[in-house]
Amino acid sequence: GENVEQHPSTLSVQEGDSAVIKCTYSDSASNYFPWYKQELGKGPQLIIDIRSNVGEKKDQRIAVTLNKTAKHFSLHITETQPEDSAVYFCACGGGADGLTFGKGTHLIIQP
């Protein structure tokens, strides 16, 4: 089955700086790569996703890049703000049995 590695497990950045979270995956058949944000006491929510026919996608301060050859994809958050503090999960899939998630990154925005 699919195996997803996510790094780092914890990331602390100064408010206003950029944050980057990286994931690698094993199954070359995967074609859908979403990122979820989980705030304390809540369920994860989709923040951005990318499909295998695209190399980069941007939505305001967040962007995702995908390198299918190397089987890795990354989440980029620019101009970080306190409300960006959360746990972020990468995931991949596209087959019949849903998504496989990374272990999560706890992003801490220092004031």
Partner 1 sequence: DADVTQTPRNRITKTGKRIMLECSQTKGHDRMYWYRQDPGLGLQLIYYSFDVKDINKGEISDGYSVSRQAQAKFSLSLESAIPNQTALYFCATSDSNTGELFFGEGSRLTVL
As given in the structure block, the two tokens for residue 17 are: 């700086």
Q: Strand 45-51 vs strand 56-59: parallel, antiparallel, or unpaired?
A: unpaired
86 near partner 1, judged by CB under 8 A: no
Among all chains, which residue has been given the structure tokens 């962007």? 63
Stretch that binds partner 1, among 53-61, 64-72, 78-86, 90-98 (CB under 8 A): 90-98
Can you tell me which of 75, 77, 99, 107 binds partner 1, judged by CB under 8 A?
Answer: 99
How many of the other CB atoms lie within 10 Å of CB of 76? 17
The single residue listed with the structure tokens 């780092």 is 8
Smallest gap, in angstroms, from Cβ of residue 5 to partner 1?
A: 11
C-alpha 75/C-alpha 36 separation (Å) is 10
Select the span of 13-21, 63-71, 76-84, 87-95 touching partner 1 (CB under 8 A): 87-95
| Residues near partner 1, by CB under 8 A | 1, 6, 9, 32, 34, 36, 41-46, 49, 89, 93-94, 96-104
